[in-house]
Chains A and B, each alone.
Chain A
Amino acid sequence: MRSITLVASCLAALSSFVTAELNLSQPLRSKQVLSSAFKPPQVFKNANLVRTTNLDKAFPRETINVVIENIDTKPQSEYYLPFETSLISKVGGLEASDKKNPNLGAFKVEVVGFEEASSTEFYLIHLPKPLAPKEQQTLSITYSILSTLSPVPATIAQSEKQYVQYTFSAYTPSAYTTDKQKTKVKFPNGDIPDYTTLPADVNAENKADPQKQGSTFTYGPYEKIPAGAEQEVSVRYEFTKPLTHASLLERDIEVSHWGGNLAVEERYWLQNLGAKLKNHFSRVEWQKSSYMSPPTSALKALNLPLNPGALNPYFTDDIGNVSTSRFRPGKREALLELKPRYPVFGGWKYSFRVGWDANLSSYLRKVAGGDSYVLKVPFLEGPRQPEGIEYARVNLRVILPEGATNVKYSTVVPVIDSDTTLHRTFMDTIGRTTLSLTAINIVDDFRDRDLIVTYDYPWTAGFRKPVVITLGMFAIFATVWVVGSLDTSIGKKKTA
């Protein structure tokens, strides 16, 4: 028994070693470490910078459009973007691209840190083509900041409006001098009771800062802001929607060649980061107001749009089946409407699992010539809420058939870790090849990103399951025959 485990673990170790070389999407596992004396070389300047902070959803989404100029004498390709150390762990889905030439795709982005604890860490953006001296390029940098909105007041009554506060720097943090910049803040509505005002002499046009236009505020323009300068401002606005945060999402995608089936199971650990209840929860008040369906800070329902052709959905939690769900299969999408067992108010948690099946033919194709297969599945499905949902950690497992080898994957979702292991479950002998991917700080904007996996699966490996059962059954027949032909009678054998 021990030797089998040893061999299996050796195989697993070998297979992960082999696949690590082959994966086309490199995980961001390695973090470039710099000496504590490092400062980004001042080879760029930001000629013009416009930052848009969108507060429509339960997490701020930042878009920085910046015209960068090489002020060095040599071509440069490394652009540093600074974040406070406490903030960088909340930044998710950072992507950089060329605004004027979107065909170049997303640039390579990595996190760099320091040997010793430092108050600033950097994202390093690699320009695909070094920028020649005095040349300009327009970068578009987008990212979301997770679990950063704080409800003020921290406790509210059950049907009261919720207000949240967002604190940021009016000067966009940059490692380079910025000639001209402004920040636009887009609020979900016009109810903004508190915000920081800055003196007019800071503003380049000597206007009141911020400028208000409906539900949009503009901080700036500011001129000649040195590298690293910050000016903290806060805004407080109405957001009577849940701040849904998934501390963990485990997502399993299981491929079955025998059954022609793709089984998906998702396990959520949700939490509402909104304002807590001032008093006890009143079921009577909740029920009375539910007919009017007013905006509420509680999480009432989750809608999961699934791909067309989804079958056999289920929705369970620790207690068992949750009957308050509805499944609407459709030609364009199949909608799974879930209602948690209880409204999830601020500070409350809810964990559950959902799963469904689908026909494999829409997700798996056979590569011409050979025993290779290619699988295309969404990296993330999950609820589509108007206020959005954020995932602190997503563990995705693609469980391939037993005996699949040479696993390669490709995705545009920033993955921090990838591994190929074995997963043992029903009717397995050696275990199924499993590709595990981990991503952190993902938001629901990543729903439509695909994951493509290729693997080799020889037809001989496919017969492992029935052959093992056949051999087991034959062993029983043989045993029955051997035992049945034993002579256990007492006394002398009759020779005649």
Chain B
Amino acid sequence: MSSPLFDVWEAASASPYQPTVGKNSQFLIGSVLLFAAFILAGVFGLNRSFVNLSLLGVPASLAFGFGAVYMICAVGVYV
């Protein structure tokens, strides 16, 4: 079989897709990030100020965003 797309497939044989975080470490990464988000949110809850909103809220949101994606993948819903 020879078609242009098959040639593309053959040409890319050296670069199989590898995800940034492998399947085995998704749960660990996800839980660490979610735990970090939980702690940061807790500290923010104790002292709510505009400075803390950017100092704690932004990293907490980022940790929650990525942590949630990895945790959902780890439990089998591959988003």
State the A residues within 8 Å of B (CB). Answer: 24-25, 105, 254, 256-261, 263, 312, 357, 359-362, 364-368, 373-374, 376, 408-410, 412, 426-427, 450, 452-454, 465-471, 473-474, 477-478, 480-481, 484-485
Contact = CB atoms under 8 A, between A and B. Distances in A.
A474 B70 contact: no
Given A374-B8, A485-B48, A470 B17 contact: no
Nearest to A366: B15
A367 B12 contact: yes
A260 B40 CA distance: 29
A474 B58 contact: yes
Contacts of B79: 256, 258-259, 426-427, 465
Interface string B2-29: 1111101101111111110111001000
A357 B78 contact: yes
Given A257-B19, A259-B23, A470 B5 contact: no
Contacts of B16: 361-362, 364-366
Interface string B50-75: 10010001101110111011101100
- Name, among B58, B70, B77, the residue most crowded by chain A CB atoms within 10 Å (CB to CB): B77
Contact of B6 (A357, A366, A410, A468): A410
A216 B9 CA distance: 43
Given A258-B78, A260-B18, A467-B65, A374 B73 contact: no
Nearest to A474: B61
A360 B23 CA distance: 10
5 contacts: A260-B17, A376-B9, A410-B5, A452-B9, A470-B65
Among A24, A254, A258, A478, residue most surrounded by chain B Cβ atoms (within 10 Å): A258
Which 9 pairs from chain A and chain B are nearest by CB? A470-B65, A260-B19, A259-B78, A256-B78, A477-B57, A259-B73, A365-B12, A410-B5, A473-B61
Contacts of B65: 466-471, 473
Interface residues of B, number: 46
Contacts of A367: 8, 11-12, 15
Contacts of A477: 41, 44, 53, 57, 60-61
Contacts of A471: 61, 65
B23 A261 contact: yes
A478 B53 contact: yes
Given A368-B14, A469-B68, 9 more contacts: A254-B78, A256-B79, A367-B12, A374-B9, A410-B4, A469-B69, A470-B64, A473-B61, A481-B50
Nearest to B52: A481
Contacts of A426: 72, 77, 79
Interface in B33-53: 37, 41, 44-45, 48-50, 53
B72 A474 contact: no
A366 B20 CA distance: 14
A318 B2 CA distance: 42
A257 B64 contact: no
Contact of B60 (A258, A263, A312, A473): A473
Given A259-B73, A364-B17, A470-B62, A374 B5 contact: yes
